[in-house]
Amino acid sequence: MRFWKMNGAGNDFIIINNMVEHLPETCFPTLARTLCERHLSIGADGLMIVDAPLQGGDYRMLFFNSDGSLGEMCGNGARCICRYGYENGLAGEIQRVETTAGLVTGHRIDQRLYRIRLNDPTTVRLDAPVVIDGVRYECSYLELGDPGLPHAVVPYPNLAQADENALRELGRKIRFYPEFPKGANVNFCELTGEDEVFERTFERGVEDFTYACGTGTGCVVTALTLMGKVSGRQVRVNMTGGQLIVDVDLQGSTVQNLYLTGPTNIVCKGEVTDEELSLN
């Protein structure tokens, strides 16, 4: 079984082309759990399966988190998969990717830089405070696409200096907050300059911080734009693994287009030989 390992700003993925491998869909959760384990196998935040299109796109993308759960979408994953699609001749410089959350269009800017148009927000609750251990945190809740990928946006002062373990525990509690029916990816953020944000995301399905989260940055910049705190133009979001740029087109208070731009890295291309892997 051939695979590529890629990352987008440090959010890393294993990619398998199922138009070549012909694996049964039922094995994908186990495949993700096995291959994404960082000590026992290749290691990644998620597994992406490329498959034949069903709705007129260039191809279809299925995204599985490292715990085997299906994610509706993945912004950094979609940017990486666009490079995979381009370099494997599945699509041209502008491409249409079918995701579980709906169609995503991708644009090759240069060899490593890719921009995608993220799914439009389908739920935006700017005022969705959470109370954790008696402390109230201002929070927004957004979903991108349909069915929507859930995100909480939590402003957090002095984020870069925050105690890692305390932040992780808080992230976990908000991720499972009972008022978020699907759970949520939890994006802690702090404005660090004009149109510049620092962000750390505790991800559902990885159940820890990842180095970057593309849909998370899209939601952070959407919320901050609607609150009037950033312009929505070329907003720079810095995360552990690098920088992503987000553009938000507003029509009144409705988001019309949400773009995510950032780097991709092909780490290796290889063959899976994991002797512990069972496809049943």
Ligand X SMILES: N[C@H](CCC[C@H](N)C(=O)O)C(=O)O
**Interface positions with ligand X (CB under 6 A):** 11, 65, 71, 74-77, 149, 185, 203-206, 210, 213-216
Residue 123 in marked binding region: no
| From 80, 189, 213, 219, active-site residue | 213
Cβ proximity to ligand X, 184 vs 226, nearer residue: 184
Q: Please tell me the distance from the alpha carbon of residue 176 to that of residue 32, in angstroms, as a whole number.
A: 22
Tell the smallest beta-carbon distance from residue 56 to ligand X (Å): 23
Q: Are the C-beta atoms of residues 246 and 217 closer than 8 Å to each other?
A: yes
Residue 185 in marked binding region: yes
Residue 215 in marked binding region: yes
Residue 56 in marked binding region: no
Dihedral sign for Cα 106, 110, 111, 114, please: negative
74 catalytic residue (yes or no) = yes
Q: Please tell me the distance from the alpha carbon of residue 203 to that of residue 250, in angstroms, as a whole number.
A: 27
Using DSSP's 3-state secondary structure scheme, residue 222 falls into helix
Residue 103 has a CB neighbour count (10 Å cut-off) of 14
Cβ proximity to ligand X, 57 vs 77, nearer residue: 77
Cβ proximity to ligand X, 149 vs 273, nearer residue: 149
Tell the smallest beta-carbon distance from residue 201 to ligand X (Å): 7
DSSP structure class, residue 41? S
Sorted by sequence, the CB contacts under 8 Å of residue 11 that are 6+ apart come out as 45, 74, 76, 77, 210, 211, 212, 213, 214, 241
Tell the smallest beta-carbon distance from residue 254 to ligand X (Å): 21
213 catalytic residue (yes or no) = yes
Cβ proximity to ligand X, 17 vs 185, nearer residue: 185
Tell the smallest beta-carbon distance from residue 85 to ligand X (Å): 17
Q: Are the C-beta atoms of residues 265 and 9 closer than 8 Å to each other?
A: no
Relative to beta strand 2-8, strand 11-17 is antiparallel
Residue 71 in marked binding region: no
Residue ranges of the annotated binding site for substrate are 11, 65, 75-76, 185, 203-204, 214-215
Catalytic positions are 74, 213
Residue ranges of the annotated binding site are 11, 65, 75-76, 185, 203-204, 214-215
